[in-house]
Amino acid sequence: MTNYFVIKSKLNNLVLQVDNTNHIATDFGIQSQHIWVVTAQETQADNQLWMLNPQGQIQSKFNGLVLDIGTENLLTLSHKYHQYLNYLSSQGLVYPPLLVTSPQDDQLTQQWTIEWELNAFVIKNNQDGKVLDIFGALASEFVPITLAPLSPSALNQQWEIMTPASPSASGTRDTLNSGEILKPGECLTSANGVYSFCYLTNSNLVHYENKDKPNMRVLWQANSHLYPPAYQCHLQQSDGKLVVFNVPGHATWSSQKFGSQYPPSQLIVQDNGHVIIYDKNGAPYWDSLEETNGS
């Protein structure tokens, strides 16, 4: 199962969206032969869902295309923007539009690094180090996304990387299946209610006995809280490894036992206090109570 995320602005709580219905033309009068990326209200539709692939490309669930940098200059394409932007244009500055295009493994303009800066994510291009930026810091919908030098105080360059909400069954669960994730704040709880395996909002992965009770004990922890922020804990479908990520594609902790022979795997919080990952044949290959804290 591929784990997609939404990219939400700290400026206006709008998210990045593939402009497949061409709001750029209808709302801003800009004609382009390319598909741009714009801001929009969050719906979690496929054109708002993204993944970071192994090539470092940010890929759309909608059409499989990846984020890329256009060659046009937003400052010269529309008269709808205010006079300050006309001033920037007169200074010879260029603000290219963010596009989605076909992936090419050797294209640096398609390769990105997601970094944590001053309590937010910035999304940095590997070609020139410029970051995703809402053009003109405009707070309305369907504003194009551009690239600009990093400005630490600019909210229009700051993002949240969020796993989409998904419906869950009532009650607790004790199992994480191959390919599934724990989101920040989620726990697995043993059937007898005594043991909890939790991915905390501070990014730590912790195994508790009698969580939230006076006699609570921590039986094991990954110490992944040393590397914030929290993003997700994933039982990987490819190799059976349990991994804590603080940004897409960057692990801060992982189980030491993994391999292609294990999946499909299953992690179970048991009534005897052990958290065990079982391989496809039902044989255990990782046990939290046999791990050293933070290993």
**For the segment 272-282, what is each residue's pLDDT rounded down to a tens digit?**
999 999 998 88
CATH number for the domain that contains residue 126:
2.80.10.50
Q: Both 138 and 188 in a single domain?
A: no
> Which residues in the chain land under pLDDT 70?
1-2, 78-92, 165-171, 292-295
CATH number for the domain that contains residue 217:
2.90.10.10
- The range of the structural domain enclosing residue 226 comes to 175-290
- Report pLDDT for 167: 42
Q: What's the domain count of the chain?
A: 2
Q: Both 140 and 278 in a single domain?
A: no
In angstroms, rounded to a whole number, what is the distance separating the alpha carbons of residues 46 and 233?
Answer: 22
- Report pLDDT for 171: 54
pLDDT tens track for 213-229: 999 999 999 999 999 89
The answer to whether the beta carbons of residues 84 and 109 sit under 8 Å apart is: no
Q: For residue 169, is it within any domain?
A: no
Other beta carbons less than 10 A from residue 24's beta carbon? 23
